[in-house]
Amino acid sequence: MNDMKVEDGLAVATARFDAAMVRLDQSLVDLTNRVQRMKRIEVDTQRLVQERARLATELDKTSARAKRLDDSAHDVSRRLVVAMETVRAVLAKE
């Protein structure tokens, strides 16, 4: 009878060990999947950071160009006013 109890205990222990190994294997699979997802997220984040930097540089260049165009438009407007005043002065003399 004692041998039967030992064998039953051993069978129970083996079953518990097997179940624990199955859970451990599943945990490793889950962990591997999470690590892979994290790596993909890190790569995507790095791409977004690079894209943001590129867009910021592009925005700076475009803003500088818009400022130059605005300054040029102001200068052209000022020159047109001067030219119109000159024409009016010439026409007024005649």
Residue-level length of the chain? 94
What six digits make up the tokens of 77?
């407007």
Q: pLDDT band for position 1 (50/70/90)?
A: low
What does the domain layout of the chain look like in residue ranges?
A: 1-66
Distance between CA atoms of 76 and 70, rounded to whole angstroms? 10
Q: What is the pLDDT of residue 41?
A: 98
Mean pLDDT of 28-36: 98
pLDDT above 80: residue 6: no
Mean pLDDT of 38-53: 98
Distances (CA, A) of 63 to 66, 67, 69, 71: 5, 6, 10, 12
Q: pLDDT band for position 94 (50/70/90)?
A: confident
Tens of pLDDT along 48-82?
A: 999 999 999 999 999 999 999 999 999 999 999 99
Give 22 or 9, the one with higher predicted confidence.
22
